[in-house]
């Protein structure tokens, strides 16, 4: 404000958010009026939930012992996919590796299969890292990030408003949080 700069010009120019003090130099060097070809990117939706317990670990052990479902990534993809309004492809990212899974229409965990199709949702599993907060900004696909918290799990959903409306994003994160805390809800 003191310099008479308008942060909306950074947004219009497609500058990544959040803005930092060093971005003021870029802002000051922008032309007085943004070119007509510049399009404004859709706003980013960023939601965070924290749950008190991680019910997934015990659930995965039970599913392996009782039903022979030993692929923990497929189970995790199934829980995330069951939280989507429509079945789709869920990619699990961990340690720089990505595995994608097709969620069947009935969302049965035993019917989840590997897929090479582009994902409709990416789940980044950072539970075994020291990270406790993440802000990456929107990507080409909505991203759910799973991290360990002090007592349970921290879940973050980031997407563009043109990928998912705010009510749908809230519903997705709420459903996923409930399923991660009490995975047997998925079976009901």
Predicted confidence (pLDDT) per residue in 50-92, tens digit: 999 999 999 999 999 999 999 999 999 999 999 998 889 999 9
Taking the domain 44-187, which CATH number applies? 3.30.559.10
Helix 72-82 to helix 56-67 angle (10° resolution) is 120
Look up the pTM and report it: 0.74
Query: 186: helix, coil or strand?
Result: helix
Question: Looking at the predicted structure, is the pLDDT value of residue 100 above 70?
Answer: yes
pLDDT attached to residue 95: 84
Q: Are 77 and 119 in contact (CB under 8 A)?
A: no
pLDDT > 60? residue 188? no
> Domain coordinates of the chain in residue numbers?
1-41, 44-187
Residues 153-182 have a mean pLDDT of 93
Q: Alpha-carbon distance 143 to 137, whole Å?
A: 9
CB-count exposure of residue 37 (10 Å: 0-12, 13-18, 19+): exposed
Whether 157 contacts 46, CB under 8 Å: yes
């Amino acid at each position: 404000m003191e310099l008479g700069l308008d942060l909306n010009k950074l947004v219009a120019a497609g500058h990544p958010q959040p803005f930092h003090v060093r971005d003021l130099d870029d802002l000051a060097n922008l032309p007085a009026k943004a070119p007509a070809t510049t399009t404004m990117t859709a706003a980013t939706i960023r939601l965070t939930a924290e749950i008190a317990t991680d019910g997934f670990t015990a659930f995965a052990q039970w599913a392996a012992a009782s039903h022979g479902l030993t692929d923990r990534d497929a189970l995790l993809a199934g829980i995330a996919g069951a939280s989507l309004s429509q079945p789709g492809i869920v990619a699990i990212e961990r340690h720089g590796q990505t595995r994608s899974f097709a969620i069947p229409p009935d969302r049965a965990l035993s019917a989840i299969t590997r897929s090479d199709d582009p994902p409709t949702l990416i789940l980044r599993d950072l539970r075994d890292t020291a990270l406790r907060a993440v802000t990456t900004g929107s990507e080409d696909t909505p991203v759910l990030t799973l991290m360990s918290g002090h007592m349970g799990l921290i879940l973050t959903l980031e997407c563009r408003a043109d990928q998912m409306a705010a009510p749908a994003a809230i519903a997705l994160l709420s459903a996923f949080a409930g399923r991660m805390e009490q995975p047997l809800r998925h079976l009901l």
